[in-house]
Amino acid sequence: MYPPAGERQVNDRFDELLRRLGEISDLEKAASLLSWDEETKMPPSGSAVRAEQRATLNRVAHDLQTEPGLGELLEELRPFEEAHEPDSFEAALVRVSRRDYEKAARVPSELRAELTRCGSLGYRAWLEAREAEDYAILPPLLRRGLELRREYVACFDPADDPYDVLLDDYEPGTKTAEVAEIFDQIKTALVPLIRAVSEAEPIDDACLHGAFDRRAQRRFSVVMLERWGADAASWRLDRTIHPFATSMSPFDIRLTTNFHEDSLHGVLSCMHEFGHGLYERQVDPRFARTPLAHGVSAAFHESQSRMWENLVGRSLATWRFFYPELQATFPQQFGSVPVETFHRALNKVQPSLRRVDADEVTYCLHIILRFELEREIFSGEVALKDLPDAFAAKMREYLGLEPPDVVHGVLQDVHWSDMSFGYFPTYALGNVVSVQLWERAEDDLGALDPMFKRGEFAPLREWLGEHVHRFGRVFTPKELLVRETGSPMDAGPYLAYLERKLGELFGAAAVSS
């Protein structure tokens, strides 16, 4: 009745792997809760001790993650992995865990600690520099950060481009050269498109400026999120300063937003965060407490948030369903505004200085300029002292705007000060992937607009669960994209979508070249 000794032993080893990975996941998710709580609930005087608590949990999790015993266990499990189908839970878990282990084990803990420390210092220096409107505070820390990041890169096998190593942390397997090619294609198409739009009659978005009661915004957002599939049994929505989504498990999804009295930005950020949350929610429940229970990459994650915010959330069909509810919520504001006017306002295209305020069309250029600059910083092509000017020059070139000061220029984002070089490009890649997936969903389901008009969002949600979410990290992002769309990353569908949309908003003549 017993399985053969060899096999039984291997299963014991797999159980041991599950135990270890479960422990690591529990610590990481507890750290996530510490962060969520800090941003949403914690009384302010708790912050100093909270920072220590977070650091401890991350350190203990990281110690378990790099323990040589885990590496040995993963080696022992090679035959077990090979005895299972590559897509199976068992093989994928061993494979992905080994990849994670090997990456983590290459970085000495002292370097990792120093990176974390320098990231916190950089974050504080960035706040200080913004406060003082003085970029000069940053270069010494940025210099140290770049040194550390170069040491980090040196921990790995030589790549075609050192930036590949940074990118790999967010977008595993994607090369800098591939990103550069896609971005060149986007830039070539967008710069003239945006110039044309800037010359056209601007869209009137007066209806979006007014006084919007925060509680009413929340009530409306909850109605919308519940219609989309965020049920109270597994989701929460809380207030924070900077909106984010996090999860404690696939069964406990937390969105946060910031409702402002004078705009509907908070409602739109609910849509955005819903996309992130849905990804974590629809991962195969068997993956809970393992490293498979996450989105496969930053770009894939962002594709989901951008899909729900832009492709669903800014579409006329969606608002044909939700607009009466919004009108009932804000009758003074929208009672006599036709849905078409509201929809046009929501899709206003206008070059702006701040990335986080950018519209769907100009957004990518904000990213592309940052990607180009961070490569040049990293290669030394741009000296740190010249960064504010280099930033302003690209703003002029791509968006036709002149930053009035460093706060509206190079100090906009924390990403370089806190050492997260390599993250920026994934924002724009998310847009690209979102439309690739969307087209494939419409191939399978038929046109989505008629469904949205009827308030039917389950078909898209379920399609995404079936074709993307449930796999978690079983495939690499590149494998998953080819498997589900038949194509590698391709800006074509995204650019075609933008052109179509601008044509609808401004008339085909304004945007045809």
Which residues between 270 and 309 bind its own copies (CB under 8 A)? Answer: 288-289
Q: Which helix (H) or strand (E) holds 496?
A: helix 492-506
Distance separating alpha carbons of residues 259 and 216, to the nearest angstrom: 10
Span interacting with its own copies, options 19-27, 164-172, 388-396, 498-506, rule CB under 8 A: 19-27
Regarding 470 and contact with its own copies (CB under 8 A), the answer is no
**Smallest distance from its own copies to CB 288, Å:** 6
Among the listed residues 429, 435, 437, the one whose alpha carbon sits nearest the alpha carbon of residue 175: 429
Give the position of tokens 């090369």. Answer: 175
Task: Identify whether the C-beta of residue 430 lies closer than 8 Å to the C-beta of residue 309.
Answer: no
Among positions 7, 12, 15, 49, the unique one binding its own copies when judged by CB under 8 A? 49
Phi and psi (nearest 5°) for 434? -60, -40
Regarding 45 and contact with its own copies (CB under 8 A), the answer is yes
Distance separating alpha carbons of residues 218 and 237, to the nearest angstrom: 9
Span interacting with its own copies, options 18-26, 92-100, 306-314, 479-487, rule CB under 8 A: 18-26
Which CB sits closer to its own copies, 282 or 412? 282
**Smallest distance from its own copies to CB 27, Å:** 7
**Smallest distance from its own copies to CB 279, Å:** 17
Among the listed residues 30, 61, 87, 164, the one whose alpha carbon sits nearest the alpha carbon of residue 472: 87
Among positions 8, 41, 150, 454, the unique one binding its own copies when judged by CB under 8 A? 41
**HSE of 344, CA atoms in CB hemisphere, 13 A:** 16
Catalytic choice (171, 273, 309, 374): 273
Which CB sits closer to its own copies, 235 or 457? 235
Regarding 241 and contact with its own copies (CB under 8 A), the answer is no
What separation in angstroms does the CA of 132 have from each of 31, 127, 128, 406, 453?
32, 9, 6, 10, 49
Q: What is the largest CA-CA distance in the chain?
A: 79
Span interacting with its own copies, options 7-15, 38-46, 371-379, 441-449, rule CB under 8 A: 38-46
Write out the DSSP string of 152-168: HHHTS---SSHHHHHHH
Among positions 13, 16, 18, 53, the unique one binding its own copies when judged by CB under 8 A? 53
Span interacting with its own copies, options 219-227, 251-259, 383-391, 483-491, rule CB under 8 A: 251-259
What separation in angstroms does the CA of 311 have from each of 56, 183, 275, 306?
40, 20, 11, 7
Regarding 16 and contact with its own copies (CB under 8 A), the answer is no
Which CB sits closer to its own copies, 109 or 487? 109
Regarding 30 and contact with its own copies (CB under 8 A), the answer is yes
Regarding 46 and contact with its own copies (CB under 8 A), the answer is yes
Which CB sits closer to its own copies, 84 or 286? 286
Regarding 69 and contact with its own copies (CB under 8 A), the answer is no
> Is 273 among the catalytic positions?
yes
Which CB sits closer to its own copies, 44 or 335? 44
Regarding 236 and contact with its own copies (CB under 8 A), the answer is yes
What six digits make up the tokens of 408? 């509206």
Q: DSSP alpha helices (H): ranges in 387-423?
A: 387-399
In degrees, rounded to 5, the angle at the alpha carbon of residue 416 between the alpha carbons of residues 277 and 376 is 120
Regarding 113 and contact with its own copies (CB under 8 A), the answer is no
Alpha carbon 156 to chain centroid distance? 25
Which CB sits closer to its own copies, 277 or 425? 277
Among positions 4, 44, 335, 380, the unique one binding its own copies when judged by CB under 8 A? 44
Distance separating alpha carbons of residues 394 and 100, to the nearest angstrom: 37
Active site residues: 273
Q: Can you give the binding site for its own copies, defined by CB under 8 A?
A: 22-23, 26-27, 29-31, 33-34, 37, 41-46, 48-50, 52-53, 56-57, 60, 232-236, 248-249, 251-253, 288-289
